[in-house]
């Protein structure tokens, strides 16, 4: 998780305070309907007690951040992130809608406006608050299997019916050692009995210590023929300050070594050839490659060096922007598997229709894309980062069947 400057933290607190002042102003239009002064005072005290407590906690955490135990720090950050989002967004919507209703209340009579406007305003705040709470406490770990069938003309006949599972963006540090939760995902994956499991990066948030005691859990993942993985942008430790280059490198090496411990073959700008009855396909894995500010560690040409004569290729590349920039129409790679976007952990998925604000940053952000018989699949992520919730964007296990 990125470390934000003190100025950014103060600016966030200022925004929270301004929104809360406006929300409190409009709240008086609702509390005036209450006859008991004791209840009104209790509501007002509770309102400001929460606001002052939240702002104080955010500032205090920033000041004492480096002195806090790393595991406890992760828990505190995610908790405050959740509180901030679940408080700020509903209040902001409440202020906007209440303001619109108030300044356009000429459509109501004076008597109607005294009741309808407050009720509409109250509902506008309660509804998003309820949705956010549902995303935090209900859908965050409701793992969903997406079944995908893709037809490939170049697929060797001996590989017809090949079945693979793709998982991505575990961000194990966000689980805060709640191993039992991940057991649910492992049972779902193993029940699919895939030939291969592909993991497309972001094993951790930043640090190797996040992997403590996860080895026995992740080794339970079963694939009939093999498991492959690549690194994501968070696996390099670029989002925190290190005491030295040596310390950062040691962290990086520990993260890479962990892939071996859980029986995943980590492809670092490399490839592997899978053979079946004389026919071959290539599994290619690049290091993270993204548009700035994300770094470009990936070297696709180096990865392709030993598999140039293999007609059917699958690429594991964490960031989906890599597909358009270096893969599409520039190589003969049939399928690219990516993650990275998380679907912003918020959006709408209705049958064949999907939407998320992340689409305005990433053209390819979730699901299957194709162009001239080249395919890209973007996994929505199995873990989470930052906001401890998922709103309409459930954590994903992708099950892909290869067809002729």
Alpha helices, DSSP H, located in 150-221:
179-192, 215-218
The verdict on 40 and 90 lying in the same domain is yes
Per-residue model confidence as pLDDT tens digits over 315-345: 999 999 999 999 999 999 999 999 999 999 9
Query: Does a cis peptide bond (omega within 30 degrees of 0) precede residue 273?
Result: no
Per-residue model confidence as pLDDT tens digits over 165-211: 999 999 999 998 889 999 999 999 999 999 999 999 999 999 999 99
- Provide the domain limits for residue 148: 144-403
The verdict on 112 and 170 lying in the same domain is no
The verdict on 189 and 263 lying in the same domain is yes
Residue 383 lies in a domain: yes
The verdict on 48 and 159 lying in the same domain is no
Q: What is the pLDDT of residue 285?
A: 98
The verdict on 175 and 130 lying in the same domain is no
Residue 1 lies in a domain: no
- Do the Cβ atoms of 128 and 163 come closer than 8 Å? no
Domains held by the chain: number:
2
The verdict on 172 and 215 lying in the same domain is yes
Residues with Cβ within 8 Å of 263's Cβ and at least 6 positions away in sequence, in order, are 219, 227
Q: What is the pLDDT of residue 383?
A: 96
- Do the Cβ atoms of 160 and 149 come closer than 8 Å? no
Residue 242 lies in a domain: yes
The verdict on 239 and 171 lying in the same domain is yes
The verdict on 383 and 244 lying in the same domain is yes
Ranges of residues in the chain with a pLDDT under 70 are 1-3, 66, 105-118, 120-122
The verdict on 381 and 279 lying in the same domain is yes
CA 312 to chain CA centroid, Å, is: 30
**Domain closes at, from 86, 103, 137:** 137
Instruction: Decide: helix, strand or coil at residue 104.
Output: coil
Q: What is the pLDDT of residue 209?
A: 94
Closest CA to 117 of 104, 101, 132: 101
DSSP code of residue 27? H
The verdict on 211 and 337 lying in the same domain is yes
The verdict on 150 and 171 lying in the same domain is yes
CATH value at residue 246? 3.60.21
């Amino acid at each position: 998780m990125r470390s934000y400057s003190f100025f950014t933290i103060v600016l966030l607190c200022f925004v929270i305070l301004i929104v809360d002042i406006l929300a409190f102003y409009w709240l008086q239009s609702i509390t005036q309907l209450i006859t008991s002064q004791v209840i009104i005072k209790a509501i007002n005290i509770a309102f400001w007690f929460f606001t002052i407590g939240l702002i104080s906690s955010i500032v205090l955490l920033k000041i004492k951040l480096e002195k806090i135990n790393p595991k406890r720090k992760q828990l505190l950050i995610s908790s405050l992130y959740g509180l901030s989002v679940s408080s700020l967004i509903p209040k902001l919507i409440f202020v906007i809608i209440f303001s619109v209703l108030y300044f356009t209340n000429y459509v109501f009579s004076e008597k109607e406006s005294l009741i309808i406007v407050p009720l509409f305003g109250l509902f506008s705040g309660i509804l998003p608050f309820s949705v956010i709470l549902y995303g935090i406490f209900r859908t965050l770990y409701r793992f969903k299997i997406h079944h995908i069938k893709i037809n490939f003309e170049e697929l060797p006949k001996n590989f017809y019916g090949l079945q693979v599972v793709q998982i991505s963006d575990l961000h194990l540090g966000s689980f805060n050692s709640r191993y039992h939760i991940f057991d649910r995902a492992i049972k779902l994956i193993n029940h699919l009995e895939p030939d291969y499991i592909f993991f497309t990066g972001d094993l951790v948030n930043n640090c190797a210590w996040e992997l403590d005691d996860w080895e026995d859990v992740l080794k339970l993942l079963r694939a009939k023929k093999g498991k492959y993985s690549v690194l994501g942008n968070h696996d390099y430790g670029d989002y925190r300050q290190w005491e030295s280059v040596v310390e950062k490198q040691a962290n990086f090496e520990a993260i890479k070594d962990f892939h071996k411990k859980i029986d995943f073959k980590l492809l670092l700008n490399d490839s592997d050839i899978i053979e079946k009855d004389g026919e071959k396909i290539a599994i290619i894995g690049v290091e993270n490659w993204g548009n700035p500010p994300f770094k470009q560690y990936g070297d696709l040409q180096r990865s392709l060096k030993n598999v140039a004569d293999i007609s059917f290729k699958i690429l594991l590349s964490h960031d989906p922007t890599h597909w358009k920039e270096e893969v599409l129409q520039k190589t003969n790679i049939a399928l690219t598997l990516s993650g990275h976007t998380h679907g912003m952990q918020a959006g709408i998925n209705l049958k064949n229709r999907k939407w998320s604000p992340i689409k305005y940053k990433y053209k390819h952000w979730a699901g299957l894309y194709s162009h001239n018989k080249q395919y890209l699949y973007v996994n929505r992520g199995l873990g989470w980062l930052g906001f401890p919730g998922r709103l309409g964007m459930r954590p994903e296990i992708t099950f892909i069947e290869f067809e002729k």
